[in-house]
Amino acid sequence: MFLDPDKRVDLSTAAGMVADGDVVALGGGLSARLPMALIREMIRQGRRNLHVVGSAHSLDVDMLVAAGAITVCEESYVGFEQDFGLAPAYRRAAESGTIQVKESCCVTILTQLRAAEMGVPFLPVRGIKGTDMRRLHPEYAEMTCPFTGEVLVVVPPLRPDVALLHAPLGDTRGNLYMEQPYVLDEHFASAARSVVATVDKIVATEELVERGITIPAHLVRGVAEVPFGAHPASSYPHYAYDRSATGAYIRAAGTQESLESYLDEWVRSTDEAGYRDRQGSAELERLTTWSESVDAWKGLFA
Amino acid sequence: MTYTIDEWFVVALARTIRDREVVFHGFGSPCAQVAMHVARRTHAPDMLLIEGAMYAINPDPPFIPPTSNDNSLKQGAAYSMRFEEFFDAASRGDVDRMFLSGGQIDGYGNTNVTAVGPLDRPKVKLGGGGGGCNISATIGQLTLWTTRHRSGRTLVSSCDFITDIGHVTPAGDRKALGYSGGGPQWLVTELGIFDYDGSGIARLREMWPDVTEDDVRSSTGFEFEVASDLGTVEPLSPAELAAVRAIDPLGVRRSEFDPGELQRTFEVALH
């Protein structure tokens, strides 16, 4: 438990709470609430040998793979859905064997996190038998239920070293407010040894209490205020997904060489203030107009 | 009025849903996603629609965005499940139907969304299966679909990797594996519609009117049965077509199709 009354840190300190070789849980999912500022800052700091775990993810994992920061990937999905398709850097690394793919299943990860949360050495799952998932996971086992005689696959606890979460709002103590879907963030927070968070804005505790606290401060080791800290993922209620900035990454990701130029230009040669400047304040502000009308919202995806 | 294959295709998916079913689609599945809303707006008004990666119950989104966890997809929903709330319901058998696709699908309806080719050096690393490898075992029935049948690479004699469970796997059938879910009930492709016979093998039931049995056979890597009353997919109704166009003004369903397929047009009778 983390009991300091003031958990505020700058982004560099926050990213420094992740060590090379850590098992890192990535919060959010797909195009929502990805901890992108922390991802970019870890790339600036040259983090290496990470083992990432989570559910369905996209740019966060792909960018870390592109930067050579990941050794083991244990996500249930990495990609850009039907819109931009397969994840380019992840795919190249998996096909050339430069990362170890321990692809998992949302339910299995959830069950393993629950085992860690409960402090028990294993839990059973309903599926997996008949699939090839155990070829990727020799650590799973089978067990006969002492009550029914059923044979079930059992999985060990998953206790990430650190969970990286992004929330739209937080307070100085580290309480976090999120909108649904919370995906696995609540489970990551309880199961991981620590939570490092970014928030778009730090507000008074009273305001958070009014909205409802999603992740309590005692689970959070550090919180950094970073406007547009999830960009180009969404962070509702503040801003929608930036499909066009994501498309720019995908276009740059055709080869590792062009991807290196992208990382140099957008990540390594600047900090987050510089990143926001280069994205353009008008373009970022446009993402906050989703609530004005259905046409404005729809227009962000056109 | 003229319409295109993507519109008819999502209606065919929608018709696999019965009213008062509890139905779920995964992420990256715009055709299934549009189909669920079409069903709820036409023949299945009292279905329980669980919106993909939002886990929102019966939302009325103003449009379908090209990513499946945007807040637009929970508009109008009185309640959203937590992540674990949905997966627990699916695991204990409270979800009646799920839509599943795959880069490879075999004759028993096993699907591969993990990797094509050898696992240590895949030819194509696919995205991954989300929660499918557990909940395909316990959900009541599965509607499988693919828009890439004609490629000849999708419906295969055996999957290079089984991510999600069909009727029979090398480790045994559903009964032997102790699975409560019924497995694949339908397989809808851009060429035709299959159901499954008593031994769990796909059986061709209907084809689109511009497709021949030879087209289906030459694109399919597994042996399949043909129904004695092999027919043509039931035409679209104006109400179904209107529902497709209303729920998907951005046309995200089209992102699943090869551009050549989208040239296939049909006429709907207005009466």
pLDDT in tens, A11-40: 999 999 999 999 999 999 999 999 999 999
Alpha helices by DSSP H, listed for A33-176, are 36-44, 59-66, 81-84, 88-96, 106-118, 133-136
- Report the DSSP pairing between strands B202-207 and B225-232: parallel
Min Cα separation A32/chain B (Å): 7
Residues of chain B above pLDDT 90, percent: 98
Give the one of B30, B91, B162 whose C-beta lies nearest to A132's C-beta. Answer: B162
Give the one of B72, B128, B130 whose C-beta lies nearest to A297's C-beta. Answer: B72
Written as six digits, the tokens of B40 are 């709820």
- On whether any CB of chain A is under 8 Å from the CB of B58, the answer is no
- On whether any CB of chain A is under 8 Å from the CB of B177, the answer is yes
Written as six digits, the tokens of B84 are 């674990």
Min Cα separation A73/chain B (Å): 11
- Report the DSSP pairing between strands A70-80 and A100-101: parallel
d(CA A101, CA A94): 7
Question: Which residues of B fall within a CB distance of 8 Å from A184?
Answer: 83
pLDDT tens profile A191-229 = 999 999 999 999 999 999 999 999 999 999 999 999 999
CA B170 to chain centre: 24
DSSP state of A32: B
Let me know: does B165 contact A131? Beta carbons within 8 Å: yes
Question: Which residues of B fall within a CB distance of 8 Å from A31?
Answer: 67, 69-70
Let me know: does A250 contact A35? Beta carbons within 8 Å: no
Instruction: Please count the residues of chain A.
Output: 302
Question: Is A234 in Cβ contact with B82 (below 8 Å)?
Answer: no
Residues of chain A above pLDDT 90, percent: 100
Taking CA–CA distances from B137, the nearest residue in chain A reads A127
**Which residue segments constitute the domains of chain A, with CATH numbers given?**
11-103+159-291 (3.40.1080.10)
**Angstrom distances, CA of residue A98 to CA of A85, A93, A263, B161:** 21, 5, 19, 20
Question: Is A87 in Cβ contact with B133 (below 8 Å)?
Answer: no
**Which residue segments constitute the domains of chain B, with CATH numbers given?**
2-252 (3.40.1080.10)
Query: How much is the average pLDDT of A69-88?
Result: 97
- On whether any CB of chain A is under 8 Å from the CB of B163, the answer is yes
Q: Which amino acid is at B147?
A: T
For residue A219, the model assigns a pLDDT of 98
Nearest alpha carbon to residue A156 among A128, A125, A187: A125
Q: Suggest the residue from B6, B24, B27, B95 to mutate for an interface test with chain A (most A CBs closer than 10 A).
A: B27
Query: How much is the average pLDDT of A63-92?
Result: 98
Q: Suggest the residue from B29, B74, B134 to mutate for an interface test with chain A (most A CBs closer than 10 A).
A: B134
d(CA A9, CA A12): 8
Mean pLDDT estimate for chain B: 97
For residue B1, the model assigns a pLDDT of 85
The answer, yes or no, to whether residue A136 has pLDDT greater than 70, is yes
For residue A12, the model assigns a pLDDT of 98
pLDDT tens profile A266-282 = 999 999 999 999 999 99
Mean pLDDT estimate for chain A: 98
Question: Is A240 in Cβ contact with B133 (below 8 Å)?
Answer: no
Min Cα separation A6/chain B (Å): 30
For residue B268, the model assigns a pLDDT of 79
d(CA A76, CA B91): 17
d(CA A239, CA B219): 45
Query: How much is the average pLDDT of B230-251?
Result: 96
d(CA A189, CA A186): 5
pLDDT tens profile A32-64 = 999 999 999 999 999 999 999 999 999 999 999
For residue B269, the model assigns a pLDDT of 72
For residue B270, the model assigns a pLDDT of 61
Written as six digits, the tokens of B96 are 């009646």
Residues of chain B above pLDDT 70, percent: 99
Question: Which residues of B fall within a CB distance of 8 Å from A103?
Answer: 114, 128-129
Give the one of B69, B87, B134 whose C-beta lies nearest to A29's C-beta. Answer: B69
For residue B271, the model assigns a pLDDT of 54
Query: How much is the average pLDDT of B44-53?
Result: 97
Give the one of B53, B129, B163 whose C-beta lies nearest to A30's C-beta. Answer: B53
Question: Is A97 in Cβ contact with B133 (below 8 Å)?
Answer: no
- On whether any CB of chain A is under 8 Å from the CB of B34, the answer is no
At B89, the pLDDT band (50, 70, 90 cuts) reads very high
The answer, yes or no, to whether residue A79 has pLDDT greater than 90, is yes
Taking CA–CA distances from A241, the nearest residue in chain B reads B70
CB-count exposure of residue A45 (10 Å: 0-12, 13-18, 19+): middle
Question: Is B129 in Cβ contact with A77 (below 8 Å)?
Answer: yes
Q: Suggest the residue from B133, B252, B253 to mutate for an interface test with chain A (most A CBs closer than 10 A).
A: B133
- On whether any CB of chain A is under 8 Å from the CB of B33, the answer is no
Question: Which stretches does DSSP call E strand in chain A?
Answer: 23-26, 50-57, 70-80, 85-86, 100-101, 123-125, 141-144, 151-155, 162-170, 176-177, 195-202, 220-225
Taking CA–CA distances from B75, the nearest residue in chain A reads A294
pLDDT tens profile B106-127 = 999 999 999 999 998 999 999 9
Question: Is B120 in Cβ contact with A32 (below 8 Å)?
Answer: no
Evaluate the omega torsion of the peptide bond into residue A138 and state whether it is cis, within 30 degrees of 0.
Answer: no
Q: Which amino acid is at A128?
A: I
